[in-house]
Amino acid sequence: MKGKREMNGRIITSDSEKILVEEILKIGPEAAGVGIMSPKGQFRIIRLDGLKCAAANILKQEMLSRGGEVVISNMVYRLEGNVTTNALIMGTIAQFQALICKLRLQPLKSLIEAADILTRLLEVPFAPMKIGSKEFNWESRTYIMGIINVTPDSFSGDGLAGNVEKAVEQGKRFAAQGADILDIGGESTRPGSEAVSADEELRRVIPVVKRLCRETSLPISIDTSKSEVAKAALSEGAAVINDVWGLNRDSGLKEVISRANATVVIMHNRNASEKVAYESKTGGFYQGADYEDLIGEICHSLRDSIKLAVDAGIPFEKIVIDPGIGFGKTPEQNLTILRRLAEFKSLGCPILLGTSRKSFIGRVLDRQPGERLFGTAASIALGIAAGANIVRVHDVDEMVQVARLTDAVLRA
């Protein structure tokens, strides 16, 4: 006779709705109860900025009455003048859903606006996007962007300036290895690099764009902040403009993208006023890049760039965002961005992550750019787990394998 089994307890990873529903079904509840119980097991923390006193107090009381919590400034309790507060709203999805319904009945327009924002933030999945002739379904897998540097001074030592044949050969090799997009850049953006003229950038990139548009079926991206370069590349068949300055450098760039109905990658950057430090193995990196609220300020800047794009006629559905790891941030700040990457989903756009061979990896591992394959692999796996939709990489074959296995774990 078998002995009595002891009671067994374990913590369930409930941040995944799929896992939660699977665990609920294993217990064997009534079928109708699954849809009711699932939202009660998924917890969210949402930050909402710029609430007036009255709205903040109502929001807090309504969420408290539903078993959640709202953190607001102690200034609100003293009702000091026209003070505003930021808020952290904490609760289950079920509590948020009940809160949203109640906020829509309030007479204050700001609370109706808050309800709209909360509704959008709870709807995380992004719609599929057409890039060139290819459809990108963000829920199905992670996509790979292969880097083709046609510069003489790339930080990673892979510059192919002036060698069209080698650049085209590299693009074809990347396509065969499983890349989904090819990103061609003719101006180095490493810390401390010097700008090049539009004429020189055109001389470097256009012959490569022409050839790869004809000789591969992959969408071609052009890594540029210049409207003149973007216009020429798009006219030759490029489908994506990848702007490291988030449409803030060249005022004509957004109109060029809009007229071509191209996809745009909007990256966060800071004016290159931060001090650049150099180390023998890591190369250049920024130090003293000050932020009061790193993730909040990056989100705010990206939101402003998204508005620039939409106001210029670029459809919201054609926008990809990039938090700009390595651009105007210290190595420690880059690690923080990677750790909190999931928060950028709040902007409603697919996320591109560019960590490949970067100096923050070199500083952690004490490795030069060509020795950062394993560090890059770790950052890519962590980034995908946090919600990256596209990863921009130098080592396509290896990172395709990293992405496929990470996807198999996360999306099975």
Integer Cα distance of 312 and 225 in angstroms: 16
Tokens encoding 251: 């005022």
Tokens encoding 169: 């050969």
Q: Which CATH superfamily is domain 129-411 in?
A: Dihydropteroate synthase-like (3.20.20.20)
Tracing tokens 């080698």 back to the chain, one arrives at: 166
pLDDT at 31: 87
C-alpha dist (Å) from residue 144 to 134, 183, 190, 362 = 13, 10, 21, 22
DSSP helix, strand, coil percent of the chain (3-state; round to 5): 45, 20, 35
- Does the annotation count 358 as an active-site position? yes
Integer Cα distance of 381 and 372 in angstroms: 14
User: Which DSSP symbol is given to 247?
Assistant: T
pLDDT at 3: 65
User: Which DSSP symbol is given to 282?
Assistant: T
pLDDT at 79: 65
Residues in Cβ contact with 64 at an 8 Å cutoff, skipping those fewer than 6 apart: 70
Integer Cα distance of 59 and 46 in angstroms: 13
For the chain, what are the domain ranges? 17-122, 129-411
Integer Cα distance of 330 and 363 in angstroms: 11
Give me the tens of pLDDT residue by residue for the chain, a chain 412 residues long: 466 778 888 888 767 788 888 889 999 998 888 989 999 999 999 999 999 888 999 999 999 999 999 999 888 877 665 778 999 999 999 999 999 999 999 999 999 999 999 999 998 678 899 999 999 999 999 999 999 999 875 555 555 666 899 999 999 999 999 999 999 999 977 666 678 899 999 999 999 999 999 999 999 999 999 999 999 999 999 999 999 999 999 999 999 999 999 999 999 998 655 666 666 666 776 776 789 999 999 999 999 999 999 999 999 999 999 999 999 899 999 999 999 999 999 999 999 999 999 999 999 999 998 999 999 999 999 999 999 999 999 999 999 999 999 999 998 7
Tracing tokens 């210049």 back to the chain, one arrives at: 226
Residue closest to 356 by CA, chosen among 210, 207, 147, 86:
147
Burial group, residue 1, by CB count within 10 angstroms (0-12, 13-18, 19+): exposed
User: Which DSSP symbol is given to 218?
Assistant: S
CATH class of residue range 17-122: alpha beta
pLDDT at 10: 84
Give the strand pairing for 319-322 and 283-287.
Answer: unpaired
pTM of this structure:
0.89
Q: Which conformational region is residue 3 in: left (phi greater than 0), alpha (psi within -120 to 50 degrees), or beta?
A: beta
Tokens encoding 75: 């200034």
Question: What residues form DSSP beta bridges with 143?
Answer: 390
Which candidate in 358, 363, 404, 411 is catalytic? 358
Tokens encoding 170: 């590299």
Question: What residues form DSSP beta bridges with 130?
Answer: 135
Helix (H) and strand (E) counts in the chain: 14, 15
